[in-house]
Structure 1
Amino acid sequence: MSEILLSGISKDFNNKKVLKGINLSVQEGQMISLLGPSGCGKTTTLKVIAGLIEPDGGDILMKGQSILSTPIEKRGTVIVFQDYLLFPHLTIRQNIGFGLKMAKADKNYREDKVQEMLDLMELKGQEEKYPNQLSGGQKQRVALARALAVEPKVLLLDEPFSNLDLRLRETMREFICSLQKKLNITTILVTHDKEEALMISDKIAVMLEGEIKQFGSPVDLYENPVSEEVANFFGEANYLTGTIEKGYFNSSIGKFQTHINHHSSVRAMIRPEKIEISSQMYKTGIKGTVIKKRYAGDRVHYRILLKDIELKCIAATKEIFHIGQEVSLNINGNNIVFYEG
């Protein structure tokens, strides 16, 4: 049984459809990312789960029971916003214990729980400080501690790393991942950063224009996007048109073996990093000429001209090719994703 199940969730704002029949199943203990550009409905979905926004249609089930009419404080969900929303006039200890105090928890239990959170979040020695005395990473840990102190069943994170610099973002990303696994708490995270989602998620829901376009593991989404729309969201891609006949994809640049046997006209998607480049002119390779090059440290982005077609290629810096150089390209048919032509 799913920990959280969204069934046909819809929401309009000012006659604009923001959520269009959202269906999502989240299993207990999973880290799920809602990934998409600004305005696609990610945060609205999170707020609907938390009870901050009432949907116009659909249902939300927690362990099989609808929670639509359940008050926010009794849903077992807690949301951490990207701005943390710490109380500036309260100490760190008081901030962490705020939810427990509102729930009228026993004072001794409250104090023990706050101390447990201070230890868990590595905030020992910071308890009597105020939010304006902390770094961005420390503020985020306080916000997480306050959320986890009330022992929620589901943790909701809205763009948790967006206000941090790159180095701190990576540190906090690792911290939250290890914390989530340690506590085995069901977590739904909103992000627009595809690399972030790929690195930390058990599953990703790609949201575009109020709809979930694909839901699956990071590998599935990157390697087997169900549409060109999803493929393009995850990065650069090459497209070729052609036909499939008797297990081969026939295109203007060559013939490639594939596991598909039925005859059809298709558009083929190939990721730039899936194309092997060599200066050795192999018989099985496709001859091309380097026409553009962009150095990016651990990799180089190339544009290769094959007859009248340009292909994007990304290669490691083990061997660097130069503009005007003739190269040989190798494409494995197993790395090609096909869409109906």
Structure 2
Amino acid sequence: MDPLLDIGGGDSHSESVRKKARRVMLQRLPAAEMFMHFLDLHLDSATYHVRSCLSKTPMTEQSPRGPSARRVAATELTELVLSEVTRQLVRLAVACRKAPAPQKWIGSSVALAFDEEPPERSGGASFKDEEDLRRSVHVRIFDWGRSELNTLEQHAAMTAKQQADRLHFWQLYVGGIDRLAWEAARAYRHRFGNAEGWDSACLAVFDFDSMTSDDFLGKVDICLERAEEVTVQLVNSKGAPVHGKSGQLSTITYSVAWCRFQQPPLGTSRLAGAWQVTIARANHLPAQDGCIGTSDPYVCLTSFGPGRTFRVEQRSTVVVKNLDPEWNEDCRGG
């Protein structure tokens, strides 16, 4: 996601301009989208790749092979991390309420971080049970800013106006922590609180625009069931076929696999498994950047549970200036 793509691309600007543009783009992200990108591991090392799960054996007989059989899979690590992030943010919200005096922390922010190295599964020499495994996931919350430390004695010596000022800014800060904790809990519920399973998904293709809203190029609704690589036509919002620049039908190619995770007593996963949707490529997409006759496409995968009570969104990378993009990227949901 190049924030300077529409004005010459990041490479043609100085480092300071690129840094400011990235900061502005990130500051505009809503919390739900921020957590989506924060927890996105689908482009990381081959440790997470479980393509071998795509087989013709019955679902109950499938199990990850290769490196992922030794270490937890990307979806399992995401569940561990988001669970710990939620727990620590709630603890932070409680701690704020126990502060003896209100603080004036202007410009203070919260940074969330975790170690992306997936821990080894239990059953080996490392972990005894699930709780032992969860303690091995290191999630850190940092806070920084130029802030005073207001003690109870200092607060009592302030004027009524100064005390009201401290209380006002403290309420803003605590409210921000509450909202962040709530967004983390909501993200966890939607992605990992669905015990009934996922039954459908939507693959929507967009043209990324750094200065305006992204342009919708087409979509296809799919059932979440095992499927070898298949190519389907994209349709517009009214269900009509989408045609590309040359008049040919726009298509997208994908495959679907089910990956079963190890359960107690042999494993430590809270998840039965994950659907793996591999976005291979798209062809003959419409050109939305009129001046140069091309597009910068990416795929947004939205998964739905029964009755659409649960909803999870994931995205591919942006392929710059390409009407026949290739991704070969995996998106996984618990």
* TM-score interval (norm. to shorter): under 0.3
More helix by share: 2
Q: What is the TM-score of this pair, normalised by structure 2?
A: 0.23
Rg bigger for which structure? 1
Q: What is the TM-score of this pair, normalised by structure 1?
A: 0.23
